[in-house]
Structures are given as structure tokens and as C-alpha cells.
Amino acid sequence: MAAEGDYHFGRAMQYEMGGNVDAAIAEYRRGLKQSPDSVDGHTRLGTLLLDEEGDVDGAISQFVTALTIDPSCSFCQSRLDEAVVRKNASVREGINRGNDFYRAGQMARSAAAYRIAIQAAPDDAEARNCLAWTLYRMGKLEDALTEVKEALRLKPEEPEYVNTLACVQFDSGNVDQAIASFKKAILKSKNPNPADFYGLAISFLSKGDETNSVKNFKEAVKSDPNYTNASYLRDKIGMSVHTLALHDKLVSISGNLEELLKPKPENDAQKQSGAGK
């Protein structure tokens, strides 16, 4: 039985190294059925549940079991202590932790941190939207849609959350819905986000409407000239590969954008009155 447990643990570690967290968790569970006294198995499973899934209660259970088997396991104790701290953290601390992982490009850990924050405060709209956006970045569109809808239930008029919804809708192939959502985000915002104009540009282009596509792209570029740069949109804004697939064509059909970036000359009336100073 122990040898069979080791087989599953070995497979779990292979899946873990390959980034297949769900398969790794399943193999650790199979291994623990065969070798229930494996301290290492319980600890590794608990670590995945905590760091990659945001299942803090499940993680605590695994670390406690490991310590019951071997009370001298200092690593088990340190991980248990960390899990308890995360469980008792405020929602703001959880969001900040998720943001740190997000900025570091660790999307799975970011999502896990947001999930723990939501466990602390299920009605926190910001945590829901942060999780939705991270899931969108991970390509988990159905889960992202569930979370952003919950965020919008809690804060229906928040333009940032409407933008998240629009991005998820576009990547899901619901282009008309995405267009409506991008337009809603612009209407709801005192200072419209260039990401919404860009989203409209890409959405219209995907439908073959180059006129409206260029019009909205120019609005985005006027607000932020970096929107001509696909790397900036991918790395800084967080737009998906699917969204950026038409970027080169969008730039190409938009013609010379330099005029948009030049300061507008003041007319005589403005100079005399000091307008704009």
C-alpha cells in the first residue's frame, strides 16, 4: 500500500512541476488514501490548497493532520501558522496580498489570495472583481464571469467592474454584449478609461466595422499614447492574447496617429484670457 501511495505522490509532483494543480491535488489525495500517515503527502497537499487554490480551511486540515502524525515537524507548524494568519487577515490584507502576487505574474497564487479575502468578506465587491480579472487573465472565463457578476450585484454602477465584464464577454465570443458593456462603462465613468475605448475598437473591428473601430481607438490613444503598443497593453494593462489578436490591424487601419499626440495650439481668445492655465 505504501508503494502505491508513493506512486501517486510521484505523479502528483510531476503534475505540480508542470503547473497542473488540479491533477496534482487529485494525485495527492489518491496517494493519501493508500498512505494516510504520510506527513510529506499531507503537507504538500496542504501547501497546494493554500497557495494555489485559496482553500484555507482545507489546508489547515492537512497541516493539522501532518502535525498529529509528527508533532516535531517544524515546517508543518510554520505552514499551519501561516494558514491561520491568512484565515484571520482582513479583506484588505488579503486583497493586497493578491495584488502583490498579481504584479509578480503569479496568477494562481493571486487568485488564491483573493479567494481567501472573499472568505473573510463574501460581500466585498473589490475582492470579487480582482478575482474575476485574474481568472480572466488565466483564461478561466466561466469562473471569471461568475465572480464579476457577483461584483456587479454588489456594486452595479462601478465602471471598472463593467469593464471586467466586457473583457470576459469579448473573450467568450459575446461581442455584442461586450460592446454594450464597454459603452456602459464609458457612460458611468466621470473620466472614461482608455481601456473601454480600446475594447470598443477591437470589438467593432472583429465585426468588420472599421469606421467605429478607428474612432474609438483614436479616443484611447488621445487619452494614453501607449495604447499603440501591444506589449504595454499585454504587460501593463493585462489584456488577453485574444483581445490583442487584431491589434496590428487596428494600428494599420488607423493611419497617422501622430497628430493626436501633438498639443493643440491656443487660439487668440484663449491666449488673452489665460484659458487652460
User: pLDDT digits over 239-270, tens only?
Assistant: 999 999 999 999 999 887 766 555 544 444 33
Hey, what's the cell of 247? Answer: 491589434
Instruction: Residues 90-155: name the CATH superfamily.
Output: Tetratricopeptide repeat domain (1.25.40.10)
Quote the CA–CA distance of 108 and 110 in Å, as a whole number. Answer: 5
Q: What's the confidence (pLDDT) of residue 266?
A: 44
Tell me the fold of 157-261. Answer: 1.25.40
Q: List Cβ neighbours of 38 (8 Å cut-off, separation of 6 or more).
A: 5, 9, 31, 32
**98-136, pLDDT tens digit by residue?**
999 999 999 999 999 999 999 989 999 999 999 999 999
Q: Measure the CA–CA gap between 167 and 43, rounded to whole angstroms.
A: 38
Confidence tier at 3 by pLDDT (50, 70, 90): confident
Q: How far apart are the first and last CA of the chain?
A: 80
CB contact at 8 A, 24 and 48: yes
* Dihedral (CA of 45, 105, 143, 248) sign: negative
Average pLDDT value for residue range 140-164:
97
Contact (CB, 8 A) for 194 and 220? yes
- Per cent of the chain over pLDDT 70 is 92
User: At 25, phi and psi to the nearest 5?
Assistant: -60, -45
Task: Indicate the CATH number for domain 1-88.
Answer: 1.25.40.10
Query: d(Cα 16, Cα 25) in Å, to the nearest integer?
Result: 8
pLDDT above 80: residue 273: no
C-alpha cell at 256: 497617422
Specify the residue for cell string 465570443: 173
Q: Which segments of the chain belong to CATH 1.25.40.10?
A: 1-88, 90-155, 157-261
Q: What grid cell was written down for 248? A: 496590428
